[in-house]
Amino acid sequence: MWFRGDLRLTDNPAATAALAEHSGEGPVHAIYLAAGGQWQEHDWAPIKADLLWRHLDCFRQDAAKHGVLLHIVVADTWQDAPRHLLEFCRAHNIDAVHFNREYPVDEQRRDHAVCACLAEHDISCQSYHGLLLVPPVLSPTTDNAYYQKFTPFNRAWREHIALAGIPGPVALTEQDCRSQLQPLPDCPYERRDSSSWQVGEAAIQSQLQQFIDEQIDDYHEDRDRPALDNTSRLSPYWELGVLSPVTAARKLQQLSPDFPDGLNKGADTWLTELAWREFYQHLMHHIPRLSYKKAFKQYTDEFPWRDSDDDFQRWCEGRTGYPIVDAGMRQLAAEGWMHNRLRMIVANFLVKDLRIDWRKGEQFFMRHLIDGSFPANNGGWQWSASTGTDAVPYFRVFNPTRQSEKVDPDGSYIRKWVSELSDCPASCIHAPASWLRSQPDNDYPAPMVDHSKAREEFLKAFKQL
């Protein structure tokens, strides 16, 4: 078993197949390649690396209870993957390798190279779509087209689930091989403490169940209110593959016998979020240029972005003078995570108020987010920049002050993260200039741009394309 972004045994088709094929003599040997150089190329956040390493330590213990002996092999980049996999197979007399597919270009090239190398030595490879509920085969026609808009994709995605059904859970074997585990090697990457986040399959499945039991009914109403923090906080575990979307779907299925229909509004809204995640994965499979920092709308690559290191740095540090933007950026710096609605607001501000290239924001997010997912992050930034396949129209430019009033009406989220405004009354919190005049020692900055003027400049530049 070759583990990658699927670090679980539950609802893992590749692991299930490896266990089923195993003769029962000794453990199923499994490998995880810790490629620090590749993580560097892909802008991994140190807090994400720390969460991964903590989970690996926990997961290999759990896997060994079920006869899966996980070896952590330190590599540099994925160019080394064929050599490491071949050496591993030879060392353990392996003639079949199972893995779940990943969809960006680098991952696909790695897998093709490994399979070709192993085939030369009569070692078979079998791959599965274990990262998705629906494989990237949905097509609006019969000529290998793909869905370019989310709404028809979501409709077809749900129809596919209804027809295919949700597979039942697979019982795991009981064969303890923990005594054969080797010490966990040192992580080949910079780490930042992630101890406020749980690790281990059992703990994360418990978190999923708690969210469904206690929060999902109000999800549609509360998800855009960052002060309420009513999101599931499961995103890092989708990225590392600790959770399978099949597991989540089975939990939702218990809420409605007509699943995926018949869910209440909160649960249905959350299911739609899972569909968005898969939509971006499908796009990575179908559109290689997305893996090369290219826009889906190719003409937008000619947009005249501003090159201002000072303005970009102020955005990174949360010193824009727009409280809701600054609160989101400071939460990211402090926690390695940001509420999803805030991600949209701060992204829109960078690309449309400051007219700074969305790729710089995309990279900054990846370097700081504990849940940094290339497909979802790329999709989200292209949505905000109006360059993506199903993006917000270019003429929709978020007004940061109006957004602030909408998502944080009493200013409690802003006060939590912008200490300079901790005493600012609700009547001034979204645009505190008048209140700041009465606070001569307060150094919170004035707005770095006039939103109305910035909006007009962005619209003028975009229309010229």
- For residue 300, the model assigns a pLDDT of 95
State pLDDT tens for residues 56-75.
999 999 999 999 999 999 99
- For residue 174, the model assigns a pLDDT of 86
Q: What is the DSSP string of 139-164?
A: -SSSSS----SHHHHHHHHHHHHHHH
Rounded Cα distance, 339 and 417, in Å: 12
Would residue 39 count as lying in a domain?
A: yes
State pLDDT tens for residues 261-303.
999 999 999 999 999 999 999 999 999 999 999 999 999 999 9
Would residue 239 count as lying in a domain?
A: yes
For range 320-343, the mean pLDDT: 97
pLDDT of residue 15 exceeding 70: yes
The verdict on whether 276 is a catalytic residue reads yes
Domain stop point among 116, 131, 146: 131
Rounded Cα distance, 57 and 320, in Å: 40
Candidates 428, 437, 434; CA nearest to 405 is 428
Both 39 and 68 in one domain: the answer is yes
Both 310 and 349 in one domain: the answer is yes
Both 323 and 342 in one domain: the answer is yes
Both 212 and 233 in one domain: the answer is yes
CATH number of the structural domain spanning residue 114:
3.40.50.620
pLDDT-based confidence at residue 23 (cuts at 50, 70, 90): confident
Both 30 and 90 in one domain: the answer is yes
- For residue 25, the model assigns a pLDDT of 81
Helix axes 358-368, 340-348, angle to 10 degrees: 150
Both 424 and 311 in one domain: the answer is yes
pLDDT-based confidence at residue 142 (cuts at 50, 70, 90): low
Cβ-based neighbours of 154, under 8 Å, separated by 6 or more: 272, 275, 279
Amino acid in the structure at residue 442: N
- For residue 393, the model assigns a pLDDT of 86
Cβ-based neighbours of 312, under 8 Å, separated by 6 or more: 350, 354, 356, 360
Both 95 and 155 in one domain: the answer is no
State pLDDT tens for residues 373-402.
999 999 999 999 999 988 888 889 999 999
CA quadruple 69, 73, 78, 82: dihedral positive or negative? negative
pTM exceeds cut of 0.85 = yes
How many distinct structural domains can be found in the chain? 3
Rounded Cα distance, 187 and 79, in Å: 19
Which residue among the candidates 276, 335, 405, 420 is catalytic per the annotation? 276
CATH number of the structural domain spanning residue 459:
1.10.579.10
- Six-digit token pair at 90? 């030879």
Would residue 19 count as lying in a domain?
A: yes
The verdict on whether 273 is a catalytic residue reads yes
Q: CA dihedral in degrees (119, 121, 124, 127; nearest 10)?
A: -50
Which residue among the candidates 154, 264, 273, 435 is catalytic per the annotation? 273
- For residue 24, the model assigns a pLDDT of 74
pLDDT of residue 204 exceeding 80: yes
The verdict on whether 399 is a catalytic residue reads no
Both 312 and 360 in one domain: the answer is yes
Both 159 and 270 in one domain: the answer is yes
Q: Look-up: residue for tokens 């509360």?
A: 222
DSSP 356: B
Which residue among the candidates 154, 190, 264, 340 is catalytic per the annotation? 340
Per-chain mean pLDDT for the chain: 95
pLDDT of residue 355 exceeding 80: yes
Both 123 and 257 in one domain: the answer is no
Which has the minimum average pLDDT: 89-98, 152-161, 222-231? 222-231
- Six-digit token pair at 297? 């709308």
The verdict on whether 107 is a catalytic residue reads no
Owning domain of residue 225: 137-168+201-286
Would residue 185 count as lying in a domain?
A: no
Helix axes 358-368, 374-385, angle to 10 degrees: 150
Q: Is the peptide bond before 260 cis (omega within 30 degrees of 0)?
A: yes
Both 153 and 261 in one domain: the answer is yes
Rounded Cα distance, 106 and 11, in Å: 25
CATH number of the structural domain spanning residue 216:
1.25.40.80
C-beta separation of 414 from 324 below 8 A: yes
Amino acid in the structure at residue 412: S
pLDDT of residue 448 exceeding 70: yes
Would residue 191 count as lying in a domain?
A: no
Would residue 114 count as lying in a domain?
A: yes
The verdict on whether 337 is a catalytic residue reads no
- Cα–Cα distances (Å) from 437 to 86, 428, 433, in that order, read 68, 12, 6
For range 124-128, the mean pLDDT: 97
Sheet of 68-75, strand order: 2-3, 28-35, 68-75
- Six-digit token pair at 355? 């007219």
- For residue 454, the model assigns a pLDDT of 97
Rounded Cα distance, 349 and 372, in Å: 20
Helix axes 201-214, 245-253, angle to 10 degrees: 40
Rounded Cα distance, 176 and 61, in Å: 9
Would residue 182 count as lying in a domain?
A: no
Q: Binding site for FAD: which residues? A: 219, 231-235, 270, 273-280
The verdict on whether 417 is a catalytic residue reads no
Both 83 and 160 in one domain: the answer is no
pLDDT of residue 10 exceeding 80: yes
Which residue among the candidates 305, 335, 420, 442 is catalytic per the annotation? 305
Would residue 219 count as lying in a domain?
A: yes
